[in-house]
Each structure stands twice: as structure tokens, then as C-alpha cells.
Structure 1
Amino acid sequence: MEETKQMGQEYTRRSIATLGAAMVAAGQAQAQSSQHERVIVPFGPGGTSDILARLVVASINKTPGRTLIVENRAGGGGTIGADAVARSAPDGRTMLLMDIGGLAVAPNLFPNLSFNPETDLLPVTMLSFTPYVVAVHKDVPVRTAQELMAFARRSPDRLTASNSGAGALTHLTSLVLTKAWGAPNATQVPYRGSGPSIAAVVSGEVVMTASTIDVMKPFIESGAVRGLAVSGPNRLALLPDAPTFAELGWPMPEVGSWQGVLTQGRTPVATRDRLEAEFLTAMRDPTVVERVTSLGAVVRAQGSAHLRETLKAQTEEYGRIIRENGIRLE
């Protein structure tokens, strides 16, 4: 009788242990399934990177079993979100989608940057290129790029230019252009992001700005601002009379928003290759292509090697500009 009782107790203990193990396993599986893969956009909603991220993620999520989410983590000119990816697990589940110009500028401005873009982030693929447009407030008495240059030379003290933050690529672009126009002392006015920077030229608070065509488009179409020149290799359908920087002989002819995807630097190559193929496929989705094109951008879906080379070249180029102009951030 006692032996039977002991056997029963042992069976109960084993059953409870088995049930407990099953519950733990189920909990782990549920937790794992809820930990979706993330595409971090290191800026606020509504900008170029955010728009593109949501388009691409929606395309990828059409695949059965795929659930990517977009997470906005703004601050530090993109460095806060980039740092989060650099510190993530090297499993390819956390990705960074941003204008790689920000990554190229950061190490040249922040000597104590918390991560090394070259080693802590692994290039996955280039996605697109969005050209910059130089635009002026509608009441500024210039109607062509040539007239803007003449205005700059004639009245450098009246030329004010907004940018999305000190040291940002829009700041570097505006600084290089105004110097080339003969107005090295033009006033560069930093704002906290592209939205406020564009609002400043729309309201007439500043004379001009240089920003991406996708965010400038509605204001150009409404007549609030006048687009005078565009970067990139070709004129835009939206501004057929606006010459390219190259046509005008301006510096930085290929400046603009180069959007790319990176992941944690120690991620296995096989995982990187899978992500690369996935994002390149998404950039061939007709819905994505149509939307990107309608915003004035160009699909530049090229692999990890191209992204790595472009990032290296831009880091060197923007570093030179920063040093030559003595740009320092306090």
C-alpha cells in the first residue's frame, strides 16, 4: 500500500514537472513569436526614411509568415537609432533603414560616437536615391537658379538658408552651395529636423532651403515655394525647367538622400544575404516602384557591396567638407 502511494506521488511529481516544462516552452514560443523583426528608422514619422520603410515593409510582409514592424527612434541626427541597431543581437532581426549620409557625417562630427559605423553595422542593400531641390519662398524676387546666384552675390547679408540641423547633410549642402555662389557669409539657420526647416521657407522666415524633393513636392505644387535647381543626374518631371546642379556647374551634383539598410555588424553573412535578397525583391514590387517614383525619388536597388563602397566614399567626402569649413558641434 505504501509502495503504491509512493508511486502515485512520484507520478504526480513527474506530471507536474512535465506540465511545467510544457508551459515554459509554450511561453518561450509565444514570446519569440511576439518579438517581431524590426526596421528601425532613426527619425520621426513622415520623412523620407519613414515613408520608404513603411512601403518596403508592407511589401515584405506580403510573404506568408513574415512580420516586420517599423519603429521610429529619433534623435541625435540618426545616431540614437543607429546605436540601437549596433547594440542589438547579431541575428539580423533588427535592421536600420536611413539616409546613409547621416552615417557618413556622424563619425566626422562626433569623435566619441558610441558605435563605429564601419564595424558595428553591416551593409545590407541600397534602396533609393532622392534628389535635393533648392527652393526659395514664393515672394523672393528670383525665378531662376542664375537669379538666385546673382542675389547671393549682390546681397549676401540678406541670404538666409534653413537646414535640418547643424552638421546635417542639408547644412553641408547649403554651406557648400552658398560659398560657391560667392556668398560665404550667408546665414545658415539650423532647425530641429526637415519639417521645421521646410516650414521656415514656406512661411518666409528664411529665403531658401535645400531639401529632398519628396517632402518639398506639396509646397512646390501649391506655389508656396519655387523650386529652382535639382541635384542628381536628371531633371525632374515636377520641375522640367529647373536645371541640375551639374548643368549649372554647382558642386555636389549627386548630393541627396541615399536610403539604405544595415544590420548589426556581426550578423552572419548568410543572414545578411537573405535580407539583401528580400529587400531587393521588395524594391521590384510595382507598388513600391510606383510610389517611390511618384515622390520624385529613383529606385537604386543595389547590394551590400555597393552600399559599403558608397558609405565609405561619402564618409571621406563629407569629412573633407566638415574639416574645410571648421564645423564643430558643441
Structure 2
Amino acid sequence: MPTLRRTFLTTAAVAALISSAPLAAQTSASSYPSQTITVVVPHAPGGPVDSVARLFADKLKDQLNQSVVVENRAGASSMIGAAHVARANPDGYTLYINASIHSINPLLYKDKIQFDAVKDFTAISLLAQGPLLFLVNPSVKATTAKEFADELKANPGKYSFATGGFGAADHLASAYFLHESGQKSIPIALYKGGAPALQDLIGGSVSAKMDAILTALPLVKADKVRALAVTSAKRSPLLPDVPTMQEAGFKDFEFSTWYGLWAPANLPADVTEALNKAAERIMALPEMQDKLSSLGFVADYRGPKGFAEFIDSEMKRYQTIITAADIKIDQ
């Protein structure tokens, strides 16, 4: 089986993360919530995670009749914000919304993470999923994913990929594609966020990128980038003419990023259930589903048990991709 080896440096911020045990919770659902709730987003404002979080927070305010604020704590592949939540008081007033990178990080950074991405959090609910678009700079001759794979083979060293960060969904999806294409040495440039990566894709400094529909769609419509494929099993209604990776000849290729709601570990069961019920109602709202759909997402509510099982299955799938593509950081 061909492999694609990548070696990366961790950031100093990862080493600075601390894991102190949370204080005992004093909250019960009978009085919850009695003060402002903070939803921590471990990414910069404006991206897909932030967009999902702000949509959800606005509806959570209405469901719980309490103020809800979004706090961005970006850095270290979302681990700075995660570490903050892991050591917060499990009282329901510090919540956490992140994407699938939360479950990818422990597979890559392993003992370099000073918190447990499963045990140090209470999984409350899955919220939504969304595929990625396979984008190329307009100067690329290929018009399909299969043609681009052929171009890579015919022109070694000519093309490169961009990713918004080590271990992010676009990184895994890109490595997955390169592995499935039999490529061993195509560069994957790591950026500190999706925005600068997209700018370099538009400028032609890099050739290709996987990206969320939310941020990619305006660029596709403006002809600044070209979409070769979508990574979901079905075509996106927002881009019905763009084929899936499976239609392009990659029969097993399906990859979506997902978004979930967590709290610190040991959240009282009644508070967990109060938040879970609120999430269930929010994700069933037609206006919420319509808004998510317009941004390239699909509402996908699953409660604590279903969400925990989903996380477990996704981590196993990610490990398969990481092993096959031989994605590693420097030891």
C-alpha cells in the first residue's frame, strides 16, 4: 500500500496547555440557568465552527431564556480553547462547540495533549455535518478529481496542497485523496487558518485545497477557484453540477466535517439533559435547518449516547486514514 509521509512541528502553545481537575459542580436543572452561559469556540471568528456556534447560541438563548455569549479562544489546532473548557467548572455555564478536529487531535498529538479529549468532556449532542469541496486554482488544467490525480502523476513536483492547519479536516481529506491517488511526495502546506490558505490558493501559490462549502462557495461563484468535487456521498444542492468524489472514480471516498456540543466532564446529569433537550429542539427548528443548509451544512442532532458512539466510530475512521497516509508530527 503506498504511503504519504508527513512530518510536522508542534507549536509551543501545545506545551503550555494545562490540565487541572474541574471543581465540583453545584448546579442542578431546577435552577439552571441562572446566569450568562459562555460557549467557547476554539477558532477565530468567521469560520465554519464559529458560524455554527453563533447560530446555535442565538437559539439557545431563546430556549433557556438566558443570555448566551460566544467566546473565541483560538490557537494550537483548537487545543487552547479545549484546554480551557477541560479545566472549567462543570456547572453548565461553560460550553464548547468544536468540529471534528477535537477528535482528530488526540490521534496525532497523543501524549503532547495535556487533557483527554473524551474523558475530560461531557458529550452533549452532535449538531451538524458538512462536506468539503475539492478546490483548485483556475490555472490547473484538470476539470475533475480523476484528471487532477493524473496530472499529479504526470507532473511530479508541479502541484501542492494547502490546509488550514495540521490535523484539520481539510488536512486529513487532502492526505486521504493523495493516498488514494497513489501519491507519495506531494507537498501539503500548513497555514494558521483557512483564510490565508484560501488566499494563496486564489493567488496560485498553491494548487489545491479542500474547504468547507461555507467559505468556498463565494469563491467558486466568483470564479476565483474551481470546484472539482464534493466529498459527501451525494451532491450538494448548493452546487448541483459538482460531482461527488465517488462519481469521480474514488469509490470509497466520503469525508465530512462535523460539529458538536460539549461541556466539561462531570456535568450533572440533569443539566446535561436540559442542554440536550434544548439542542434537540433547536436542531429541529425549520429555520435552523434552512440556515444551516444555506451555508452547506446538514442538521444532524444526536443526543449524549448517540454522540458519544458517533465520536468513537469517527475516531476509529480517522485513525485508519492517519495510518494509511502516514501522517505524523515530529517526535
- After the TM superposition, which of the residue ranges 305-314 and 247-256 deviates more from structure 2? 247-256
Q: Which amino acid aligns with 1:202?
A: I
For the 8 Å contact 2:43–2:74, the answer to whether it is kept is yes
For the 8 Å contact 1:130–1:214, the answer to whether it is kept is no
Partner of 2:104: helix, strand, or coil? helix
Aligned in 2, Cα 1:105/1:252: closer, same or farther, shift over 3 Å?
farther
Say whether residues 1:304 and 2:304 are aligned partners: yes
Distance 1:254 1:309 in 2: 19
Aligned counterparts, 1:19-34, within 5 A? none
Give the % identical residues: 28
Identify the residue that residue 8 of structure 1 maps to in structure 2: none
Identify the residue that residue 165 of structure 1 maps to in structure 2: 165
For the 8 Å contact 1:39–1:71, the answer to whether it is kept is yes
Q: Whose radius of gyration is greater, 1 or 2? A: 1
For the 8 Å contact 1:212–1:256, the answer to whether it is kept is no
Distance 1:209 1:231 in 2: 12
For the 8 Å contact 1:235–1:242, the answer to whether it is kept is yes
Identify the residue that residue 36 of structure 1 maps to in structure 2: 36
Identify the residue that residue 275 of structure 1 maps to in structure 2: 275
Say whether residues 1:106 and 2:105 are aligned partners: yes
For the 8 Å contact 1:166–1:329, the answer to whether it is kept is no
TM-score (norm 2): 0.85
Say whether residues 1:70 and 2:70 are aligned partners: yes
Give the ranges of 4+ consecutive aligned residues of structure 1 lying more than 3 Å apart after TM superposition.
32-35, 251-254
Measure how far apart 1:126 and its partner are: 0.6
Measure how far apart 1:287 and its partner are: 2.6
Q: Which amino acid aligns with 1:147?
A: E
Distance 1:233 1:243 in 2: 10
- After the TM superposition, which of the residue ranges 213-222 and 314-323 deviates more from structure 2? 314-323
Measure how far apart 1:74 and its partner are: 0.3
Identify the residue that residue 153 of structure 1 maps to in structure 2: 153
- Residues 262-312 of structure 1: per-residue CA shift (max 9 Å, x gap): 111110121111101111211222332221111111111121222111211
For the 8 Å contact 1:234–1:244, the answer to whether it is kept is yes
Partner of 1:66: helix, strand, or coil? coil
Q: Which amino acid aligns with 2:152?
A: A
Distance 1:94 1:46 in 2: 21
Task: Kindly report the root-mean-square deviation, in angstroms, between the aligned alpha carbons of the 2 structures.
Answer: 2.0
- After the TM superposition, which of the residue ranges 217-226 and 284-293 deviates more from structure 2? 284-293
Measure how far apart 1:180 and its partner are: 1.5
Q: Which amino acid aligns with 1:103?
A: H
Distance 2:330 2:235 in 1: 35
Identify the residue that residue 119 of structure 1 maps to in structure 2: 119
For the 8 Å contact 1:37–1:68, the answer to whether it is kept is yes
Aligned in 2, Cα 1:59/1:298: closer, same or farther, shift over 3 Å?
same
Q: Which amino acid aligns with 1:200?
A: D
Distance 1:206 1:149 in 2: 15
Distance 2:128 2:253 in 1: 16
Partner of 2:118: helix, strand, or coil? helix
Identify the residue that residue 294 of structure 2 maps to in structure 1: 294
Distance 1:169 1:154 in 2: 27
Measure how far apart 1:63 and its partner are: 4.1
- After the TM superposition, which of the residue ranges 209-218 and 54-63 deviates more from structure 2? 54-63
For the 8 Å contact 1:123–1:308, the answer to whether it is kept is yes
Aligned in 2, Cα 1:35/1:174: closer, same or farther, shift over 3 Å?
same
Measure how far apart 1:194 and its partner are: 1.1
Distance 1:137 1:244 in 2: 19
- Residues 69-95 of structure 1: per-residue CA shift (max 9 Å, x gap): 111000111111111111111112111
Distance 1:318 1:105 in 2: 7
Aligned in 2, Cα 1:85/1:267: closer, same or farther, shift over 3 Å?
same
Distance 1:195 1:51 in 2: 14
Identify the residue that residue 264 of structure 2 maps to in structure 1: 264
| Structure 1, unpaired ranges of 5+ | 1-31
Distance 1:58 1:33 in 2: 15
- After the TM superposition, which of the residue ranges 46-55 and 315-324 deviates more from structure 2? 315-324
Q: Which amino acid aligns with 1:273?
A: E
Which one has the bigger helix percentage? 1
Aligned in 2, Cα 1:251/1:49: closer, same or farther, shift over 3 Å?
farther
Q: Which amino acid aligns with 1:182?
A: G
Distance 2:321 2:222 in 1: 34
| Structure 2, unpaired ranges of 5+ | 1-31
Distance 1:304 1:282 in 2: 15
Size of the aligned set, in residue pairs, is 298
Measure how far apart 1:127 and its partner are: 0.7
